[in-house]
Amino acid sequence: MKTPDPFRGISVFMQVIQAGSFTLAAERLDMSKSGVAKSIARLEADLGVRLFQRTTRRLSLTDEGRQFSEGCARAIAELENVQTQVTTRQQELAGRLRVDLPVVFGRRWVLPALLEIAAAHPALELDVTLSDRRVDLVEDGIDLVIRIGPMQDSATLIAKPLGVQQAVLVAHPDYLARHGLPKTPDDLHTHACITFGSGGQTRPWHFLDRHGRSQPLAVRGRLGLNHSEAILDAALAGHGIALLSDWLVAELLSAARLIRVLPEVSTQGFPIHAVWQKNRLLSAKVRHVVDLLAERFVPKAPWQVLRK
């Protein structure tokens, strides 16, 4: 007995869904409208269900059609993913790749990896933007972004974890020699703190209690700055205690140019992700960058190796 081809008609079916009509799907597939209609009819006959509700003005999926289309989309995405995995190693990376990075983190930790890729693949055209603005991948035409913080639009995006940004309290040895080490978070109220903010508005510092719940602490900063590297400069100059990202201060802690303050106190962390569009073929270029970053950042990020 001949087994029906499980993929017969599926490409036409999915193209009709994307086009929204038999006519437009026929143009895109270089088929006749009647050919598209016959392909859909055969698929419906094979499945024993009606996939579309058709009127003179509107074409819409039935409940069965919607369920079938979702399953087809998953299967196609998996096939494309497997195909990409098989062929990626054999492909020369070429063409344009647009990547968006957070300004400070991207320049320090991601850009070096991208430059290595560019050196190894001269046919690859890298277009890298450094911005703390939350870009829209579709509207801005971005292939890959690195984001720090919780994913808010995960329904339309795929995200690969690259680790966690952890906040740490630091100060210059000279400052601590003059003012002593705080023993509890409440002691920070008696110290000179360097806070993130401007115009009299500062962000509270968040610590975690023993249950892992965030406990904000409103510290009054003697210096308020609106850029993390400026806060770091002030801390290195001995102006007070700062709360900064571990990846920003790891090398300085390793060199003892800064000292960790209240290391036993847990602080709030933010996930780091490589993010790209869902329902889009993961190209060899994007996969290569994502895989390289994953190798470097997981399971232990390079700055965690340096940190004391």
**Per mean pLDDT, which range of 79-93, 131-145, 229-243, 293-307 is the poorest?**
79-93
| 158 and 172 co-located in one domain | no
What is the span of the domain harbouring residue 144? 95-164+270-297
5 in a domain, yes or no?
Answer: no
Write the pLDDT tens digit of every residue in 102-128.
999 999 999 998 998 889 888 889 999
Non-local (6+) Cβ contacts of 132 within 8 A are 102, 103
| pLDDT band with cut points at 50, 70 and 90 for residue 305 | low
Per-residue burial over 217-237, b if 16 or more Cβ lie within 10 Å, else e, is: eebebebbbeebeebbebbbe
Domain boundary among the residues 53, 87, 121 is at 87
Query: What is the pLDDT, as a whole number, of residue 212?
Result: 83
Query: What is the pLDDT, as a whole number, of residue 262?
Result: 95
Region 164-174: mean pLDDT is: 95
Write the pLDDT tens digit of every residue in 232-289.
999 999 999 999 999 999 999 999 999 999 999 999 889 999 998 876 555 678 888 8
Non-local (6+) Cβ contacts of 271 within 8 A are 148, 149, 150, 151, 161, 163, 164, 165
139 in a domain, yes or no?
Answer: yes
Query: What is the pLDDT, as a whole number, of residue 280?
Result: 54
3-state SS class at 259:
strand
Domain boundary among the residues 69, 87, 105 is at 87
The answer to whether the CB of 161 falls within 8 A of the CB of 224 is no
302 in a domain, yes or no?
Answer: no
Counting every residue written for the chain, the total comes to 308
What percentage of the chain reaches a pLDDT higher than 90? 46
How far apart CA 132 and CA 146 sit, in angstroms, is: 10
Task: Report whether pLDDT(15) > 50.
Answer: yes
Distance linking the first and last C-alpha atoms of the chain: 69
How far apart CA 51 and CA 44 sit, in angstroms, is: 6
What is the model's pTM? 0.65
| 120 and 187 co-located in one domain | no
| 245 and 286 co-located in one domain | no
Q: What is the mean pLDDT of the chain?
A: 86
Between CA 46 and CA 49, with CA 47 as vertex, the angle to 5 degrees is: 125
Write the pLDDT tens digit of every residue in 45-91.
989 999 998 877 788 999 999 999 999 988 888 887 777 666 654 45
- How many independent structural domains does the chain possess? 3
CATH assignment of the domain containing 110: 3.40.190.10
Query: What is the pLDDT, as a whole number, of residue 84?
Result: 66
Q: Is residue 128 within a helix (H) or strand (E), and if so which, with residue range?
A: strand 124-130
3 in a domain, yes or no?
Answer: no
Q: Is residue 261 within a helix (H) or strand (E), and if so which, with residue range?
A: strand 259-261
How far apart CA 170 and CA 212 sit, in angstroms, is: 22
Among 280, 278, 277, 276, which residue's Cα sits nearest to residue 291?
A: 276
Task: Report whether pLDDT(144) > 60.
Answer: yes
Domain boundary among the residues 36, 61, 87 is at 87
| 131 and 215 co-located in one domain | no
| 73 and 193 co-located in one domain | no
| 18 and 65 co-located in one domain | yes
Query: What is the pLDDT, as a whole number, of residue 296?
Result: 85
Query: What is the pLDDT, as a whole number, of residue 300?
Result: 81
Query: What is the pLDDT, as a whole number, of residue 101?
Result: 96
3-state SS class at 168:
strand
| pLDDT band with cut points at 50, 70 and 90 for residue 1 | very low
181 in a domain, yes or no?
Answer: yes
265 in a domain, yes or no?
Answer: no
Task: Report whether pLDDT(199) > 70.
Answer: no
Q: Between 284-297 and 63-88, two packed helices, what is the crossing angle to 10 degrees?
A: 70
| 250 and 282 co-located in one domain | no
Residue 125 phi/psi, 5-degree rounding, is: -105, 105
Query: What is the pLDDT, as a whole number, of residue 78?
Result: 80
- Sign of torsion, CA 219 222 226 227? negative
| 103 and 156 co-located in one domain | yes
Helices (runs of H) and strands (runs of E) counted in the chain: 11, 14
CATH assignment of the domain containing 47: 1.10.10.10
